Structure 1
Amino acid sequence: MNHQQYWLGLPKHLIWGFIAIAIFMSGDGFEMAFLSKYITDLGFSPTQSAMVFTIYGFAAAIAAWASGVVAEIITPQRAMTFGFILWIVMHALFMLLGLDLENYYFMLVFYGIRGLAYPLFIYSFMLLLVQVVPRVRLAAATGWFWAMYSVGIGVIGSYLPSFSIPFIGEAGTLWLAIVWVGCGGLIAYFSLRHVPVDRSKVDLPLKDKLTELSRAVTILFTNRNIFLACLIRIINTISLFGFAIIMPLLFVGQLNFTISQWLQIWGVFFFVTIFTNILWGITGEYIGWIRQVRWFGCMGMAISSLMFYYLPLYFGNNFYIALIPAICLGIFVAAFVPMTAVFPALEPHHQGAAISIYNLSAGLSNFVAPAVASLILPFWGIVGVVWAYTGLYMFAFILTFIIKVPQPERAKVTVAEPAMI
């Protein structure tokens, strides 16, 4: 592939696939800000509402873990098609038989099954990137993937309901989500169906396919570098998930910021990641994947985590000072973007299983972050949690010297050497 097929690391021939991810995740994210309250407004208890999301989260974690291997043994395009059809069908049943009939068990079943859909759609596209994008350009391509993900669920998915709910209400907005998801799914279907992918595992006997599926578990124990990469990826977003829980206690509870100010500070962090995901994806190609993760990801996040606590504590209720660590966090958390390329590079013959482990570690980060906070808060407070997260980033820093990754450096690749990429 020549240089004219890429724009700032974006594979031009897959551009509609990236747009499909943004549109799909916009529809998937419509409900985030209001569904739990909508369920309680129907007369269900907060505990029942939380259980709906717990079942959903568990299903999504399972789907994320298995999606890489599933996409590999049926092709990414088929997995994406199945994912978006499953989303639409289960969401419609959730609305009609769950919410409209106010049937709690149908809500649990259909919303839970719907949790299988979005990971199957988006992570199958990630595997398609792994299969068709040259390894030397993969970090930049996955940077665009995460940028589109942020645009969808973090920007459009969050802000559009604030305009639609006053006009068509919560239920109307939930139905509108089907339109967005359907558009994203159809764009992906028609734009990607002729993309040549690795079909070497598609025609395997059922027994061999089940063996390949089991690699999504066993690979952790047979490949030490995959295990180390898993630990690094878990630590990657630990502050992201943890600070969302503990920092309102500091900003709103102790420093007298309003909840709106805190949400704006946290929103700036997500906005910054849209651009830094792309920036670090490209930069990692030139300076080396692990080198970037080590010095800018691990060290940058360790320093930014401390800044997020100590700067507001020192300057008090100063909104603009509080934006500084949020921006820094948004800059350095994205420096881990090349980890998406690291996993399949460590297992080139079982890339689906490697992507499945990547997805598993991303999900575990969402679990470990609040778990660490709940263990430390009663004894050492917010500052103890911040230092625990910082210590974990330093631990990941050490791991980057142990892990061995066959990483490309764009500075060493020339146009005359296409076979090397």
Structure 2
Amino acid sequence: MDGLLGKLGMDRKMALGYFGVLIFMMGDGLELGWLSSYFTDHGLSVQQSALVFSVYGFAVAVAAWLSGVLAEVLGPRKAMMLGLSLFVAGTLVFLTFGITSMNLAIILPTYALRGLGYPLFAYSFLVWVTYYAPSDKLGTAVGWFWFAFSGGLNVLGAYYSSFALPVLGEMKTLWSALIFVLLGATVAIFLNKDKNHSKKFENKSEALKYLLKGVTIAFENPKIGMGGIVRTINTSAAYGFVVFMPAFMMDLGFTRSEWLQIYGSLWTSNIIFNLIFGIVGDKLGWRNTVMWFGGVGCAVFTVAFYYVPLAAGPNYFVATAVAACYGACLAGFVPLSALIPSLAPENRGAAMSILNLGAGLSTFVGPAIVGAFIGLVDTVGVIWIYTGLYLISAVLMKFVTLSKKEAEEAERVSLEEFQNAQKA
């Protein structure tokens, strides 16, 4: 088994952690593809639904930023346990008081509370991975993380919902999320064999200083800041799609189950290419992979995701193929998780906080663009805004370079961390 995992680029000590993240994120993401249409079917407007997802995304962004530095201050396991606690508490209050009332004043804070949980859980584990993996395998290691993350959040969650909704209904399907979250957390936190990496702080002042490092590092090293902007753009359209694309696709003649399966195919392709582009990034260069496959590729297939179904009509197989191509290009951004921490090898947690902040902001920016512009420029205008952002991300990556000195330093620190982990 160890030999097989080694050939796949996954260390046996971290394998259970990846599996736990997969199951946890399945519970977190099972409502992602249909909750917006549920809101609009029960009295909210598209703009109000976008507001809910934007506020949720803001909470995700805050927790995502905190995850990197909290993983350093508390250690990854404790940070992940904090994320689990917040997710469970948020789910309980949202399902008990929020969605049952369909009162926006209650839905906004309760769903936002739920959004604080998963970034602390998942992104703290990502920090754990970046410290443990050797530099020459880091792209593959983070590829496995995004395989597990996206596979749970967007694939298994979507497919599970497509079959569970007709049987359980919306509310019971939402409650079932707790089963997957608790199971995944048990595996990732308590059964994962690797020891924590944790930075030791002598006092609270030192810990607070490092917390602030998760902001200042973006200005001290502008390439890290630009990487955070690119990461924000990366999945912003994907999170925006769930706000308005279900209605668009159903207006074309697709059923809700077909839409969920098309959306699931997008992320099925994505998780496969997360691994492929992790390996490709290690071979062809992290920056070039992000710039061409990620930025330019996503720009092309964002446009196609709108115009091809519009021209072909409710053709399930054609729409699925286009969605899969977009999902594949979305994975082109995976090497960012190797490139950005390598720019600050002594402060990887802080650097990852900027990257995680970008990941969280994408869940805010994507729906916010819909809420702000769909009334002005309609669906097609929103599609072109996302397309323009992807092209901007490609241009920004031209400047996010890893010098020979930075690469050597990253390799040295990574080797020390890896040797310490092997001795543990």
TM-score, structure 2 length as denominator?
Answer: 0.81
- Taking the aligned partners of 1:318 and 1:270, their CA distance within structure 2 comes to 19
For the pair 1:213 / 2:191, whether they are aligned, the reply is: no
Find the residue that maps to 1:402 and give its secondary structure.
coil
Identical-residue share of aligned pairs (%): 38
Q: CA distance change for structure 1 residues 28 and 245 in 2, over 3 Å: closer, same or farther? A: closer
Question: 2:333 is aligned with what amino acid?
Answer: F
Counterparts of 1:227-242 in structure 2, within 5 Å, are 227-242=225-240
Shift of 1:245: 4.6
Contact 1:229 1:343 in 2 (8 A): yes
- Taking the aligned partners of 1:99 and 1:247, their CA distance within structure 2 comes to 22
- Taking the aligned partners of 2:313 and 2:232, their CA distance within structure 1 comes to 32
Aligned residues: 407
Give the match for residue 186 of structure 1.
186
Q: CA distance change for structure 1 residues 52 and 297 in 2, over 3 Å: closer, same or farther? A: closer
Give the match for residue 275 of structure 2.
278
Q: CA distance change for structure 1 residues 349 and 83 in 2, over 3 Å: closer, same or farther? A: same
Contact 1:131 1:197 in 2 (8 A): no
For the pair 1:306 / 2:291, whether they are aligned, the reply is: no
- Taking the aligned partners of 1:380 and 1:61, their CA distance within structure 2 comes to 27
The one of 343, 348, 351 equivalent to 2:345 is 348
Q: CA distance change for structure 1 residues 140 and 406 in 2, over 3 Å: closer, same or farther? A: farther
More displaced 10-residue stretch of structure 1: 288-297 or 125-134:
288-297
Give the match for residue 253 of structure 2.
257
Contact 1:345 1:406 in 2 (8 A): no
Counterparts of 1:2-81 in structure 2, within 5 Å, are 6-32=6-32, 46=44, 56-81=56-81
Give the match for residue 411 of structure 2.
none
Contact 2:374 2:381 in 1 (8 A): yes
1:59-118 Cα deviation digits (max 9, x unpaired): 322111111101111100111122223433454455567778999988766554333222
- Taking the aligned partners of 2:170 and 2:202, their CA distance within structure 1 comes to 46
Q: Between Structure 1 and Structure 2, whose CA radius of gyration is higher?
A: 1
Counterparts of 1:289-300 in structure 2, within 5 Å, are 289-300=286-297
Contact 1:289 1:407 in 2 (8 A): no
Contact 1:97 1:103 in 2 (8 A): no
Question: 1:258 is aligned with what amino acid?
Answer: F
Shift of 1:216: 1.9
Give the match for residue 356 of structure 2.
359
Q: CA distance change for structure 1 residues 238 and 52 in 2, over 3 Å: closer, same or farther? A: closer
Find the residue that maps to 1:293 and give its secondary structure.
helix
Contact 1:268 1:326 in 2 (8 A): yes
Contact 1:94 1:107 in 2 (8 A): yes
Question: 1:88 is aligned with what amino acid?
Answer: V
Shift of 1:242: 4.0
Shift of 1:222: 1.8
Structure 2: 5+ residue stretches without partners: 408-414, 419-424
- Taking the aligned partners of 1:173 and 1:278, their CA distance within structure 2 comes to 30
Q: CA distance change for structure 1 residues 4 and 177 in 2, over 3 Å: closer, same or farther? A: closer
Contact 1:132 1:196 in 2 (8 A): no
Give the match for residue 176 of structure 1.
176
Over the aligned positions, Cα root-mean-square deviation in angstroms equals 3.8
Question: 1:336 is aligned with what amino acid?
Answer: F
- Taking the aligned partners of 2:380 and 2:166, their CA distance within structure 1 comes to 40
- Taking the aligned partners of 1:286 and 1:297, their CA distance within structure 2 comes to 16
- Taking the aligned partners of 1:383 and 1:228, their CA distance within structure 2 comes to 28
Q: CA distance change for structure 1 residues 31 and 407 in 2, over 3 Å: closer, same or farther? A: farther
TM-score, structure 1 length as denominator?
Answer: 0.81
- Taking the aligned partners of 2:32 and 2:306, their CA distance within structure 1 comes to 27
Counterparts of 1:76-95 in structure 2, within 5 Å, are 76-92=76-92
Q: CA distance change for structure 1 residues 34 and 268 in 2, over 3 Å: closer, same or farther? A: closer
- Taking the aligned partners of 2:254 and 2:134, their CA distance within structure 1 comes to 47
Task: Say which structure, 1 or 2, has more relative contact order (CA 8 Å, 6+ apart).
Answer: 2
Q: CA distance change for structure 1 residues 106 and 178 in 2, over 3 Å: closer, same or farther? A: same
